[in-house]
Structure 1
Amino acid sequence: MSAREEILARIRAATTDVTEPDPVKDVPVDWAYAQPTPLEDVLDTFEENILDYRARIVRTPASGTAQAIVAALAEVGANSVVVPVGVQASWVEAVEAAGMTVVRDDPPLSHDELNRVDAVLTGSCVSMAETGTICLDHRDDQGRRALSLVPDRHVCVVTADSVVSDVPEAVARMKPSILDGRPLTWISGGSATSDIELQRVEGVHGPRQLFVVLQE
């Protein structure tokens, strides 16, 4: 008897008591896709997992978002920041008032020009508490994909109402963006990778520093 025949024989022996050929009817699963995962506190879980990725996060009311952004940029050592066209004017004004150089991506900057900018400031689409993941769908407040991949530091504003429990719930929330064919960028902490000797290298395929401003 070959290994294949032996495996199939064992499967047949293990399923002799199965009389229903439809597996859905045989073992009904009482579960619906995209339902929230029960969490004690969605925002606390999100914050915990952001920190677990060695990223920074601050929580602020909407009235303090602009100053929180300025403080975040200062903490990561940014003197210049590229800003998508859809970012709130009050945020940009606060950054300029703090003496930082605001760079616009209009006309689109080259990769070399982006590489010379210290940081990028963006909004976000939806975030997942259970994995500490932020997703961008690159609307006007997030800019084109290169903006969030080339600069070395990323300050990202996440609104509390855009934080959901887990990935299935997030995917359901992003359905309009998916149907529109928009690109999606998933961010879990700063860019990092390890080689076979477990030497950690940061900044290989995206910003090495992520700072999240969670607007409650």
Structure 2
Amino acid sequence: MSSRERILGRVRRALADVPADDTPYERAVARDYLRRHGDPDTAATVALLAENLADYRALVHRCDRAGLPALIARLLDARGAASVLVPPGLDEGWLAESGARRVADRADSTPGELDRVDSVVTGCAVAVAETGTLVLDGSPDQGRRRITLVPDHHICVVRVPDQVVSSVPEALPRLDPRRPLTWISGPSATSDIELDRVEGVHGPRTLEVVLMSEEPAAPLA
């Protein structure tokens, strides 16, 4: 018997005495809360996302699609990254100007191999402005969950405005609960009993978020 079968068996036993006509969960839980606060426009929502990401000590950058390869190359160079982990579905053009050695996301990579990689670049599934949260769902441009947890430096690209929502209730319908969802609010951090903050314990020490506008940047006056 597999672990999955064992767990499902326990669930069935726990539900054995539930009446057949019991109210389904979808109707038993009231969902009449506000889906968003106010009616901010796109610019205000993206600004709030940037503010909350920075409040969580993420490093926030903005660019348009044309400027993305140069920005990523500059961020990797500033980090001194000689190697970068690349999910299988990442747009190859994003790394076109970087000279860092590319490391493929492989199922048989060991934790030690992943730890020796300097940086990882991924996309995301959705970004929540009110909480400053990035959600990854294991899609091809994001790769396996572990590649964003082991390397010390994570660059995450958010497409603006398509992937930015105001609130968590707005984010949930966009996500498939059957996928391996990772919710990220800033770099990995923890505090001991003395409230000394330590970053990088459960994930990357440095999180850089690139808010990439799908529209060309307006020329400077």
- Give TM-score scaled by structure 2 length: 0.77
CA deviations on 1:173-193 (whole Å, 9 max, x unpaired) are: 21xx22xx1100011110111
Within-5 A mapping of 1:81-96: 81-95=84-98
Mean alpha-carbon deviation: is it higher for 118-127 or for 70-79?
70-79
Three-state SS of the structure 2 residue aligned to 1:214 is strand
1:165 aligns with 2:162: no
Please state whether the residue corresponding to 2:112 is helix, strand or coil: helix
For 1:73, give the aligned amino acid.
L
Asked whether 1:151 is paired with 2:151, we answer yes
- 8 Å contact 2:124–2:135 — kept in the other structure? yes
Aligned to 1:26: none
Is 1:196 matched up with 2:199?
A: no
| Aligned residue in 2 for 1:49 | 52
Task: List runs of 5+ in structure 1 lacking aligned partners.
Answer: 1-28
1:42-74 deviation line (CA, Å, top 9, x unaligned): 000001111111111111111111111112222
Aligned residue in 2 for 1:205: 202
Summarize the Cα distance change of 1:171–1:36 in structure 2 as closer, same or farther, 3 Å threshold. farther
Query: Is structure 2 residue 183 aligned with structure 1 residue 186?
Result: yes
Tell me if 1:137 matches 2:137. Answer: yes
Structure number with greater Rg is: 1
- Matches of 2:130 and 2:78 in 1, distance apart? 26
Rounded Cα–Cα distance in structure 2 between residues aligned with 1:30 and 1:122: 33
Spell out structure 1 runs of 4+ moving beyond 6 A: none
Secondary structure at the aligned position of 1:215 is classed as strand
Which residue of 1 is the match for residue 61 of structure 2?
Answer: 58
User: How many aligned positions are there?
Assistant: 181
Asked if structure 2 preserves the Cα contact closer than 8 Å seen for 1:34 and 1:171, the reply is no
- Show the counterpart of 1:72: 75
Identity %: 49
Point out where structure 2 has 5 or more consecutive residues left out of the alignment: 1-29, 214-221
Q: CA deviation at 1:36?
A: 6.6
| SS at 1:182 equivalent | coil
Q: Deviations 1:105-130 (Å, cap 9, x if unpaired)?
A: 23532111000001111000000001
Whichever residue aligns with residue 112 of structure 2, its letter is: D
Letter in 1 for 2:201: V
Residue identity matched to 1:122: T
Aligned Cα root-mean-square deviation (Å): 1.9
Aligned to 1:105: 105
